[in-house]
Structure formats: C-alpha cells, structure tokens
C-alpha cells in the first residue's frame, strides 16, 4: 500500500524541507480501510476510528520537525497519542505528490477540464503545471469557472486581464514563488492557494492572478489518493474524509 503510493509519487521528489512518507505506526499491519484527507488532526483520527480505517493518508505531514515530548500540550502531540492508542498508521504524501506526474496540480487541471501541456521526465520534479482550457475564456468567465469548480465563494484576483485566458499555470497550496515562472511560461492565468498582498503588484495585464485558498486548491488531492489506491490496491477500502480540516473560516 505504502509502496503503491510511493511508486506514484516517489519520496525523492519531495522538497528538501519536507517530511513526506510514513509518519507513525507499524508498517506490517494489514489495512482495514484508508481514510484520505488533507490534514491530520484529532477529528480526523476520530473519523478513522468511526469508519474502521487503520490507515490515514494525508497530504500535509502530521510531523514536520522532531517531537521532544509526546504529551497533551498541542494538537500534533495529542493526535500522535490518539493515533497510536488506536493502532492507526499515518502516511503523508506532500510535495512529492505536488511534484509528481499526475499529481495535485494535474488534478486541479482535470477539475477545470484543462489538458496538461508539460510533463516531467522520470525522477524530475514538476512544481508548476501548465494546462490549456478547451476554449479561451474572458477573464471574468475564467474566474467564475474556477470558483464554481472549487466551491470558492470569493477568489482573490488582480485586475481583470483584457485578453482571453486559455493557458493556465497551476500550483496548488502556497504557490506564490512560482508566479514569475508562470509569466515566463507565457501563461494567461495563474491559479494558486495563497499569496501575500505585495506579490499582487505589477502583474496587471501580464497575467490573471486567481488565488482560491490553500485548502480549496488542494481539496481534490484526497480523490487523487483514492484513484491511486483503487488502481494499485483494489482490495483496499477507501473513505474520503468528511471532516473539513480547513482552519480558516470565511465569515
């Protein structure tokens, strides 16, 4: 199971600061069911228990840096305790999934009905996906499409582009560092999860920035996990988490 996921998104594709891979638990346990999610917290572990899943596959790692103690001091430590108490294994597929062929950004392109234009060679990272929409769209229509497909009430955009949008550069999550690369690749639009205020300046009529929220941009990663597991381990029951772990509320 772990090897099926790692075959799809090999761990060497992850960024140097990342900590993707097995987070906790015993590798020899037989999988009773896999709960698929973006983030791991206590509510997710509770859902795994309720649904008799002894494996949690998340996008964001539960553990980023070493724990010097495992107490009830914070949610990460409490989540570790709860998972171990219930023999739940946690695996995270993070930037290796972002950078993989067919990964997180490909899923975003698929949701837009767009065709991916660039594919990485074996073992190569692909942090930015370029995709082509079936039809060129006016910028306002493009933004409306993105909002509808990703269930976003409000996207953060720069001035509306006056030329049609057809080639879209995509980086789910915190993809702000790829904005200039998107411009260099002659994309009409750039979709990502989050950007800082000052980064919006100076791109008017160069590229349509469309920022839809970190969680929203990556929400279909659970479906991607399901697709891989169904393909490679058809006997394993998968459940897409119902717990919404987005810590940001839009009020």
211, 241 contact by CB (below 8 A): no
CB of residue 85 to Zn ion, shortest distance in Å: 27
From start to end of 14-142, where are the E strands? 21-24, 34-37, 55-58, 89-92, 115-116, 129-137
Residue of minimal Cβ distance to Zn ion: 173
Total interface residues for Zn ion by CB under 5 A: 2
Stretch that binds Zn ion, among 128-136, 154-162, 167-175, 204-212 (CB under 5 A): 167-175
Residue 83 burial (10 A CB sphere; 0-12, 13-18, 19+): buried
175 near Zn ion, rule: CB under 5 A = no
Q: What are phi and psi of 107, to 5 degrees?
A: -65, -40
CB of residue 173 to Zn ion, shortest distance in Å: 3
39 vs 239, beta carbon nearer Zn ion: 39
139, 162 contact by CB (below 8 A): yes
Which residue from 102, 173, 175, 213 is in contact with Zn ion, where contact means CB under 5 A?
173
Stretch that binds Zn ion, among 20-28, 72-80, 171-179, 219-227 (CB under 5 A): 171-179
Evaluated on CA atoms 110, 90, 87, 236, the torsion sign reads positive
Strand partners, 108: none
189, 210 contact by CB (below 8 A): yes
Binding mask 195-224 for Zn ion (x = CB under 5 A): -----------------------x------
178 vs 236, beta carbon nearer Zn ion: 178
Stretch that binds Zn ion, among 43-51, 149-157, 168-176, 230-238 (CB under 5 A): 168-176
Positions touching Zn ion (CB under 5 A) are 173, 218
């Amino acid at each position: 199971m772990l090897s099926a996921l790692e075959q799809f998104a090999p761990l060497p594709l992850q960024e140097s600061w990342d900590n993707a891979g097995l987070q906790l638990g015993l590798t020899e346990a037989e999988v009773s069911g896999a709960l698929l999610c973006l983030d791991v917290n206590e509510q997710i572990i509770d859902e795994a228990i309720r649904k008799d899943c002894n494996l949690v596959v998340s996008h964001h790692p539960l553990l980023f840096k070493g724990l010097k103690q495992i107490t009830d001091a914070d949610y990460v430590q409490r989540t570790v305790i709860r998972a171990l108490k219930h023999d739940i294994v946690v695996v995270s597929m993070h930037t290796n999934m972002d950078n993989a062929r067919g990964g997180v950004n490909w899923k975003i392109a698929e949701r837009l009905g767009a065709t991916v234009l660039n594919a990485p060679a074996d073992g190569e990272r692909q942090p930015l996906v370029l995709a082509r929409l079936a039809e060129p769209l006016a910028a306002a229509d493009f933004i409306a499409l993105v909002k509808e497909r990703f269930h976003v009430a409000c996207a953060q955009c720069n001035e509306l582009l006056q030329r049609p949008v057809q080639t879209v550069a995509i980086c789910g999550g915190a993809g702000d560092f790829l904005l200039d690369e998107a411009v260099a690749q002659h994309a009409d639009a750039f979709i990502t999860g989050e950007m800082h205020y000052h980064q919006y300046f100076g791109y008017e009529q160069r590229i349509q920035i469309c920022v839809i929220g970190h969680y929203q941009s990556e929400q279909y990663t659970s479906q991607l996990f399901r697709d891989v597991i169904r393909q490679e381990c058809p006997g394993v029951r998968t459940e897409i988490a119902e717990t919404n772990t987005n810590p940001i509320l839009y009020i």
